[in-house]
Structure 1
Amino acid sequence: MKILVPVKRVIDYNVKVRVKADGSGVDLANVKMSMNPFDEIAVEEAIRLKEKGVADEVVAVSIGTKKNQETLRTALAMGADRAILIVAAEDVHDDIEPLAVAKLLKAVVDEERPDLVLAGKQAIDNDMNATGQMLAALLGWPQATFASEVAIEGGRATVTREVDGGLQTIRVGLPAIVTVDLRLNEPRYASLPNIMKAKKKPLEEKTPQDYGVDVSPRLAVTATAEPDVRKAGVMVASVDELISKLKNEAGVL
């Protein structure tokens, strides 16, 4: 069984995001970048399935600039077998939209013929939460989103999903799209020997033109701003004082 894992290069989740002074976007100068945390969980799950003997090959794919090689090398160091980089942008500020990403991934799936696509439920930079669902629609494959547990057996995937009301367990036939949530696993750290080995693993470079996909943006960002600073709370001495403040100051009663 072959597993395809899309990974995205994003601002590291430990970094405080800064907005440009002119409001044109997020400042990426000298900012630490890393693999999207949800994608890292997907890579870990794919590797665990390979270690269990369920999968034979794990292929990582990334879409963006040439710098995405670093992200793919991380996936290879974790245990992926090979990688595909689709260079679809020259500037790191150019974010490829979910529909274009889904179309490119569909082309990769048509070429690679994986039995399972494991993806992060969303990227932490734009929080779109759309690519996995769009890919499933384009392929006509079943999908299981927000997975907190995945089991593969008999040509089917049993997936426990995190939903608003709690947990939901569904079973989908393979091939399928599964998007993963935070509680699925704890990703491993790549060891130094594996990091060195990753440099020798195959990393194929492609372009959108190779797949006949137009990645021209359909959306334009008109302004970017930081959220309003929250006012400090106050302590009240009694319920009566709380009600008074809610009524006269907050205006919610």
Structure 2
Amino acid sequence: MTLVTGSSGGIGASVVDALRARGDIVLGADRAELEGQDVDSFYALDVTDEQQTRDVVRQTVADHGRIDVLVHAAGVLGGTPDPLLTTTEEFERVMRINATGTFTITREVANLMRDSGTKGTILLLSSVAAKEARVDYLPYNASKIAVLHIMWSMAKILGPAGISVNAVNPGPVNTPMWAQLAEQSAGAQAARDARAAQLPMRRFAEPAEVANAISFLTDPINRYITGVSLDVAGGAHLGVGS
């Protein structure tokens, strides 16, 4: 039984497709349902709402018996590129969605798995933006390094219960989030081309390529892998480590 949050987004929707293709029962959760998406159940979820998050986790168990895999793909970029123009309110909003929301649902699923004796897998979405100083989208970058710390801590806490916790760190991906960034830039295509040129692969990832890595890390046969931060970024940060 697999719960995918952010199931209507670019990466989330590809994760749903990949896990359905390998035979998982997939439950989607997002603020709005993606029309025509092939999920076994869908749950409306605002990850900033602690009680709703708790209720959705409990309802999935009531409806389907258990959660074996959580893929938490919900997140936002933020609306202001320049950190010196970013309001405290926006910083807190992005952190609440990307970092606090990740902590809340991870905590709820972790307790459920441990209490029920489920040897499951939790997979979080961070970003290569967590690993370097950048001059734009500071709240996003800060929130994504917080995700890594949540993952590392939970991997240590949950390992004795046989639960693996990992993160995938995408680089630039052809998703609506990058389309938003491009729209906010005066030289959208030039900015995309310049970013792609920085990568050894010289291109953005497709959502399915990120989903394939997530499929690997959430496969039960790979549960011994835990505490791993896996870059899916076309070779970004070569030599820096992960």
Which bracket does the TM-score occupy, shorter chain normalised?
0.3 to 0.5
Name the larger-Rg structure: 1
Identify the structure with the greater strand proportion.
1
Taking structure 1 as the reference length, the TM-score comes to: 0.37
More RCO (CA 8 Å, sep 6+): 1
What is the TM-score with the length of structure 2 in the denominator?
Answer: 0.38
